[in-house]
Amino acid sequence: MSGIGMPDFGPDDHSDEVESETESEVTPIFELENVSVEFEMDRGVSRVLDDVTFDIHRNEVLGVVGESGSGKSMLASALLDAVVDPGVLSGDITYYTSDERPIDVLGLSDRDLRKFRWDAVSMVFQGAMNSFNPVMTVRSHFKETLEAHSAADEEHFERVHQLLEDLYLEGDRVLDSYPHELSGGQKQRALIALSLILRPNVLVMDEPTAALDLLMQRSILSLLSDLKEKYEFTLVFITHDLPLVKNLCDRLAVMYAFDLVEAGPTREVIGSADHPYTRALLNATPNLDTPIEDMNSIEGSAPDPVNVPPGCAYNPRCPLAEQRCEEEDPDLVQVETDHWAACFYWDDVDDAIPINVPGAGGETDE
Amino acid sequence: MSDAMEGESRDGSDTGDPPLLELEDLSVHFEKRTGLNPFADPEVVQAVDDVSLEINETDTVVLVGESGSGKTTLGKAAIGLQRPTSGNVRYRGQDIWDAKDGRGRVEIAHREIRKSLQIVHQDPESALNKSMTVFNALSEALHLRDEDLDSAGRRQRIYDVLAQVGLEPAPDYASRYPHQLSGGEKQRVILTRALLMNPDLVLADEAVSALDVSLRIDMMDLMLELQEVFDTSYLFVSHNLSNARYLAERANGRIGVMYLGNLVELGTPKQLIENPKHPYTKVLRWATPSLSLEEDDPGPPPVRQIDIPDATNPPSGCRFHTRCPFATEVCTQTVPRLESADDAQDAACFRQFDDHDYWDSDWLDADAADAAAERQF
Question: Residue A293 pLDDT > 50, yes or no?
Answer: yes
Whether this model's ipTM surpasses 0.85 comes out as no
DSSP secondary structure code for residue B338 in this structure = S
Asked if A289 has any chain B CB less than 8 Å from its own CB, the reply is: yes
Judging contacts by C-beta atoms under 8 Å, the chain A residues touching residue B249 are 292
B216/A286 touch (CB, cutoff 8 Å), yes or no? yes
Q: pLDDT digits over A238-247, tens only?
A: 998 898 899 8
As a whole number of angstroms, the distance between CA A85 and CA A69 comes to 18
Q: pLDDT digits over A222-263, tens only?
A: 899 999 999 999 999 999 889 889 989 999 999 999 999 999
B72-104 b/e (C-beta count within 10 Å ≥ 16 → b) = bbbbbbbbbebebbebebbbbbbbbebbbeeee
Residues in chain A: 366
Distance from CA of A131 to the nearest CA of B (A): 20
Asked if A213 has any chain B CB less than 8 Å from its own CB, the reply is: yes
Best mutation target, A174, A192, A215, to test chain B (most B CBs within 10 A)? A215
**B151-164 and B183-196 helices cross at what angle (nearest 10)?**
130
Best mutation target, B45, B215, B306, B310, to test chain A (most A CBs within 10 A)? B306
Q: pLDDT digits over A136-195, tens only?
A: 999 999 999 999 888 889 999 999 999 999 999 999 999 999 999 888 889 999 999 999
First CA to last CA distance, chain A = 59
Best mutation target, A266, A288, A295, A296, to test chain B (most B CBs within 10 A)? A288
Q: pLDDT digits over B153-196, tens only?
A: 889 989 988 988 888 889 999 999 998 887 778 888 988 888 88
Residue A25 pLDDT class (50, 70, 90 cuts):
confident
Q: Which amino acid is at B216?
A: R
B216/A184 touch (CB, cutoff 8 Å), yes or no? no
Asked if A127 has any chain B CB less than 8 Å from its own CB, the reply is: no
> What secondary structure does DSSP assign to B163-222, as a single string?
HHTT--SHHHHHT--GGGS-HHHHHHHHHHHHHHT--SEEEEESTTTTS-HHHHHHHHHH
Asked if A167 has any chain B CB less than 8 Å from its own CB, the reply is: no
- pLDDT for position A41: 83
Read off the pTM.
0.85
Judging contacts by C-beta atoms under 8 Å, the chain B residues touching residue A243 are 242, 288-291
Judging contacts by C-beta atoms under 8 Å, the chain A residues touching residue B66 are 213-216
- What φ, ψ does residue B89 adopt, rounded to 5°? -125, 120
